[in-house]
Amino acid sequence: MTPESPARTHAAHQERLRLPWWAWLAALVAGAIIATELTLGLPDIPGWPTYAVAIPLCVALLLPLNRLRIAVTPTEFQVDDARLPVAVISDVIALDAAGKREALGVGAHPYAFVVQRPWIGTAVQVLLDDPQDPTPYWVVSTRKPVELATALLEVSRRERAESA
Protein backbone atom coordinates (compact mmCIF):
# COMPACT_ATOMS: atom_id res chain seq x y z
CA MET A 1 0.00 0.00 0.00
CA THR A 2 1.42 3.36 -1.01
CA PRO A 3 0.88 6.47 1.11
CA GLU A 4 -1.36 9.17 -0.30
CA SER A 5 0.29 12.22 -1.76
CA PRO A 6 0.28 15.40 0.35
CA ALA A 7 -1.94 17.11 -2.24
CA ARG A 8 -4.56 14.38 -1.80
CA THR A 9 -4.73 14.71 1.99
CA HIS A 10 -4.60 18.53 2.16
CA ALA A 11 -7.74 20.11 3.54
CA ALA A 12 -9.49 22.45 1.10
CA HIS A 13 -11.04 24.45 3.96
CA GLN A 14 -10.46 24.50 7.72
CA GLU A 15 -12.18 26.57 10.34
CA ARG A 16 -12.59 26.50 14.08
CA LEU A 17 -15.76 28.06 15.48
CA ARG A 18 -14.48 29.82 18.57
CA LEU A 19 -16.46 31.72 21.14
CA PRO A 20 -16.46 35.52 20.90
CA TRP A 21 -14.40 37.46 23.44
CA TRP A 22 -17.47 38.70 25.27
CA ALA A 23 -18.51 35.13 26.18
CA TRP A 24 -15.30 34.68 28.16
CA LEU A 25 -15.85 38.03 29.87
CA ALA A 26 -19.43 37.00 30.71
CA ALA A 27 -18.13 33.74 32.23
CA LEU A 28 -15.70 35.68 34.43
CA VAL A 29 -18.44 38.05 35.58
CA ALA A 30 -20.85 35.17 36.23
CA GLY A 31 -18.21 33.35 38.25
CA ALA A 32 -17.53 36.49 40.31
CA ILE A 33 -21.26 37.00 40.96
CA ILE A 34 -21.73 33.38 42.04
CA ALA A 35 -18.68 33.56 44.31
CA THR A 36 -19.94 36.81 45.86
CA GLU A 37 -23.37 35.29 46.48
CA LEU A 38 -21.80 32.24 48.12
CA THR A 39 -19.54 34.41 50.26
CA LEU A 40 -22.48 36.51 51.43
CA GLY A 41 -24.71 33.47 51.97
CA LEU A 42 -22.11 31.40 53.82
CA PRO A 43 -20.25 33.82 56.10
CA ASP A 44 -18.38 31.02 57.93
CA ILE A 45 -16.40 30.15 54.79
CA PRO A 46 -13.51 32.45 53.82
CA GLY A 47 -14.14 34.44 50.65
CA TRP A 48 -11.14 33.53 48.52
CA PRO A 49 -11.90 29.77 48.08
CA THR A 50 -15.31 30.52 46.59
CA TYR A 51 -13.69 32.82 44.01
CA ALA A 52 -10.90 30.29 43.38
CA VAL A 53 -13.49 27.62 42.57
CA ALA A 54 -16.41 29.51 40.99
CA ILE A 55 -14.52 31.61 38.43
CA PRO A 56 -12.44 28.75 36.91
CA LEU A 57 -15.51 26.51 36.93
CA CYS A 58 -17.57 29.03 34.95
CA VAL A 59 -14.73 29.46 32.44
CA ALA A 60 -14.26 25.67 32.17
CA LEU A 61 -17.94 25.23 31.32
CA LEU A 62 -17.34 27.20 28.09
CA LEU A 63 -14.43 25.07 26.86
CA PRO A 64 -16.57 22.44 25.04
CA LEU A 65 -18.30 25.23 23.09
CA ASN A 66 -14.92 26.49 21.86
CA ARG A 67 -13.74 23.30 20.15
CA LEU A 68 -15.98 22.87 17.08
CA ARG A 69 -13.87 22.24 13.99
CA ILE A 70 -15.02 22.31 10.36
CA ALA A 71 -12.85 20.88 7.58
CA VAL A 72 -13.22 19.91 3.95
CA THR A 73 -10.84 17.16 2.85
CA PRO A 74 -10.70 15.59 -0.62
CA THR A 75 -13.07 12.81 0.50
CA GLU A 76 -15.04 14.15 3.49
CA PHE A 77 -16.84 17.11 4.97
CA GLN A 78 -15.99 17.05 8.68
CA VAL A 79 -18.04 18.90 11.27
CA ASP A 80 -16.72 18.11 14.74
CA ASP A 81 -17.14 14.30 14.98
CA ALA A 82 -19.58 13.99 12.06
CA ARG A 83 -18.30 12.89 8.66
CA LEU A 84 -20.03 13.28 5.30
CA PRO A 85 -18.59 11.74 2.13
CA VAL A 86 -18.35 14.49 -0.47
CA ALA A 87 -19.65 12.14 -3.16
CA VAL A 88 -23.21 12.49 -1.78
CA ILE A 89 -23.23 16.31 -1.87
CA SER A 90 -25.52 17.55 -4.64
CA ASP A 91 -25.44 21.31 -3.93
CA VAL A 92 -24.24 23.83 -1.35
CA ILE A 93 -25.91 27.13 -0.52
CA ALA A 94 -24.17 29.92 1.41
CA LEU A 95 -26.66 31.46 3.85
CA ASP A 96 -26.65 34.93 5.34
CA ALA A 97 -28.33 35.62 8.70
CA ALA A 98 -31.83 35.78 7.19
CA GLY A 99 -31.26 32.63 5.15
CA LYS A 100 -29.98 30.77 8.21
CA ARG A 101 -33.02 31.85 10.19
CA GLU A 102 -35.30 30.63 7.41
CA ALA A 103 -33.45 27.31 7.02
CA LEU A 104 -33.72 26.65 10.75
CA GLY A 105 -37.25 28.03 11.14
CA VAL A 106 -40.69 26.53 10.95
CA GLY A 107 -40.18 25.01 7.51
CA ALA A 108 -37.03 23.08 8.47
CA HIS A 109 -37.03 19.37 7.73
CA PRO A 110 -37.17 17.28 10.93
CA TYR A 111 -34.41 14.93 9.70
CA ALA A 112 -31.97 17.71 8.82
CA PHE A 113 -28.54 17.57 10.43
CA VAL A 114 -27.93 20.91 12.15
CA VAL A 115 -24.79 22.22 13.83
CA GLN A 116 -25.38 25.86 14.58
CA ARG A 117 -23.85 28.39 16.89
CA PRO A 118 -26.16 31.27 17.82
CA TRP A 119 -23.30 33.78 17.97
CA ILE A 120 -22.40 33.10 14.33
CA GLY A 121 -24.89 34.66 11.93
CA THR A 122 -23.98 32.90 8.69
CA ALA A 123 -24.11 29.24 7.63
CA VAL A 124 -24.09 26.83 4.71
CA GLN A 125 -26.82 24.43 3.67
CA VAL A 126 -25.44 21.24 2.13
CA LEU A 127 -28.04 19.40 0.04
CA LEU A 128 -27.56 15.63 -0.11
CA ASP A 129 -28.24 13.07 -2.81
CA ASP A 130 -28.05 9.75 -0.96
CA PRO A 131 -31.03 7.36 -1.30
CA GLN A 132 -29.83 5.29 1.67
CA ASP A 133 -29.79 8.25 4.08
CA PRO A 134 -33.03 9.97 5.19
CA THR A 135 -31.12 13.20 5.96
CA PRO A 136 -32.10 15.72 3.24
CA TYR A 137 -29.49 18.36 4.08
CA TRP A 138 -26.98 19.66 6.60
CA VAL A 139 -27.03 23.21 8.00
CA VAL A 140 -23.69 24.21 9.52
CA SER A 141 -22.72 27.56 11.02
CA THR A 142 -19.61 29.15 9.57
CA ARG A 143 -17.98 32.55 9.57
CA LYS A 144 -16.91 32.04 5.93
CA PRO A 145 -19.97 30.66 4.10
CA VAL A 146 -18.89 31.53 0.56
CA GLU A 147 -15.41 30.01 0.97
CA LEU A 148 -16.83 26.85 2.57
CA ALA A 149 -19.52 26.46 -0.10
CA THR A 150 -16.95 26.93 -2.87
CA ALA A 151 -14.58 24.37 -1.33
CA LEU A 152 -17.38 21.82 -0.85
CA LEU A 153 -18.65 22.19 -4.42
CA GLU A 154 -15.16 21.93 -5.88
CA VAL A 155 -14.25 18.82 -3.88
CA SER A 156 -17.64 17.22 -4.51
CA ARG A 157 -17.43 17.76 -8.27
CA ARG A 158 -13.89 16.39 -8.35
CA GLU A 159 -14.92 13.29 -6.36
CA ARG A 160 -17.94 12.63 -8.61
CA ALA A 161 -15.79 13.03 -11.73
CA GLU A 162 -13.22 10.54 -10.39
CA SER A 163 -15.87 7.97 -9.43
CA ALA A 164 -17.70 8.21 -12.78
- Residues 75-102, mean pLDDT to the nearest whole number: 93
Query: Judging by DSSP bridges, how do beta strands 113-115 and 137-141 pair with one another?
Result: parallel
Q: pLDDT grade, residue 124 (50/70/90)?
A: very high
29: number of Cβ within 10 Å: 12
Is residue 7 predicted with pLDDT exceeding 80? Answer: no
Residue 5 confidence (pLDDT): 47
3-class secondary structure, 157: helix
Buried/exposed 81-93: b ≥16 CB within 10 Å, e otherwise: eeebebebbeebe
Segment 10-44, tens digit of pLDDT: 668 899 999 999 999 999 999 999 999 999 988 88
Residue 9 confidence (pLDDT): 52
Task: Indicate the average pLDDT of the chain.
Answer: 89
155/153 Cα distance (integer angstroms): 6
The H or E element spanning position 101 is helix 97-103
Which of residues 115 and 65 earns the better pLDDT score?
Answer: 115
Which of residues 46 and 21 earns the better pLDDT score?
Answer: 21
Which of 12-16, 69-73, 128-132 is predicted most confidently?
69-73
The model's pTM is 0.79
User: In this structure, is the dihedral angle defined by the CA atoms of residues 104, 141, 17 and 74, taken in order, positive or negative?
Assistant: positive
β partners of residue 138: 113, 126
Half-sphere exposure of 26 (CA within 13 A, CB side): 7
What percent of the chain is predicted at pLDDT more than 70?
A: 93
In angstroms, how far is CA 118 from the centroid of its own chain? 10
